[in-house]
Amino acid sequence: MYYSLVPKAKRAPDDAVRDWTFLSNHGHVLIHVSKTPDARVRDIAESVGITERTVLGIIFDLEEAGYLVIERFGRRNHYRVNSRLRFRHPLEANRPISSLLRIFQE
């Protein structure tokens, strides 16, 4: 049997579009560049469904935290993911992000 913590009157209709996902935009960008290290910001934005400006902010965050290394080749960037780093949240801090990236390597 299904029980909800949200009173029925406050829940969205069953056919309503849900506005949450299991992965953050940071996670989606990291997964995208791990699969396509030469991707353009425009391609990443289109794939994730966010603006190019948001992608640039996320790439900056990931680089600052050490998850991404960015190498410039002419006018293109090449992204290298440091998959040995661990998740940031305390509940998963004992796991490397490589465990997440492996799921999406197909």
| CATH code where residue 81 lies | 1.10.10.10
Does residue 94 sit within a domain?
A: yes
- Residues 78 and 28: their CA atoms lie apart, in Å, by 17
Question: Looking at the predicted structure, is the pLDDT value of residue 74 above 60?
Answer: yes
pLDDT > 90 fraction of the chain, expressed in percent and rounded: 76
Does residue 12 sit within a domain?
A: no
Does residue 9 sit within a domain?
A: no
Measure CA of the first residue to CA of the last residue in the chain; give whole Å: 35
> Domain range spanning residue 68?
23-103
Structure tokens at 5: 């913590």
Q: What is the average pLDDT value for the chain, to the nearest integer?
A: 89
Closest CA to 100 of 27, 48, 29: 27
pLDDT at 46: 98
Question: Looking at the predicted structure, is the pLDDT value of residue 16 above 90?
Answer: no
Does residue 71 sit within a domain?
A: yes
pLDDT at 12: 59
- Which tens digit of pLDDT belongs to each residue from 90-104? 999 999 999 999 999
- Number of domain units in the chain: 1
